[in-house]
Amino acid sequence: MEKITISTLQHCKNCNNKFAAITAYDFSFARLFSNQGIPVILVGDSLGMTIQGNNSTITVEVDDITYHTKAVRKGAPKVFLISDLPFLSYYNVTEAIKNTKKIIQSGSNMVKIEGGKKILHIVKELSDRSILVCGHIGLTPQSIDFLSGYRIQGKTYDDAQRLIDEALLLEDSGIKMLVLECIPSALAETITKKLSIPVIGIGSGKNTDGQILVMQDLLGITEGHVPKFSKNFLNQKNSIQAAIKKYILEVETGLYPDIKHSF
């Protein structure tokens, strides 16, 4: 694999070539995913649930993210690596810069921040310092108590318009990528077309530039509630490697997500 950069992903957007992304938290899976051709890996604060066994992401600390980022980077030296800024680690500019420094120095290419209008100044300050920032709107797990649970966002006209406006404002403030989580497919398509930067969907239909899944969901090893948008790719073959290849192929050819995996 050639080294993946933000320019690589922007070229995918410009050429209408879809790309696959996945979460990873350790060296072994990062190496496996990289060797199968995954171009983008996210060290997500989902590790609070998938690795630490908690009920939400809000328990995750910056040190947790840096620890796992270092491990993933060792396993996947050429992928484009994104790491989450966890809960309350960017509540002001000073904290955002301090914590971003730790994460970038751990090996990440880009930090991901949840939120809309309230974080525009944070995005701008980081971008002005040549830090790549990925936005995240729709269902934002760090705000799960405020949102009263894992609910689809953007279902009403006003809420949909708010998300469109926030996406445009985030791009104007300097984000170089955007994650849309759990919003209707038509809304995700509208936002993707309006933005000039790559848009990655999760539970947001097939018409975004890329897709991301939590690795445990993709491999069918999630216990308990499994999100509707998840698909067990391992169930169709006899190896994790084959499952990853099938996932990449279905994203690139537009087969996944289909109607039953979209809202």
Q: What is the set of active-site residues? A: 181
Cβ-proximal residues to 105 (8 Å cutoff; 6+ apart), any chain = none
What is the C-alpha to C-alpha distance for residues 42 and 217, in angstroms, rounded to an integer? 14
Tell me which residue of 12, 11, 18 sits closest to 257, measured CA to CA: 18
Largest CA distance in the chain: 48
Provide the 3-class DSSP secondary structure of residue 232: coil
Q: Report yes or no: 138 and 204 within 8 Å, Cβ to Cβ.
A: yes
- Interatomic CA distance for residues 39 and 162, integer angstroms: 31
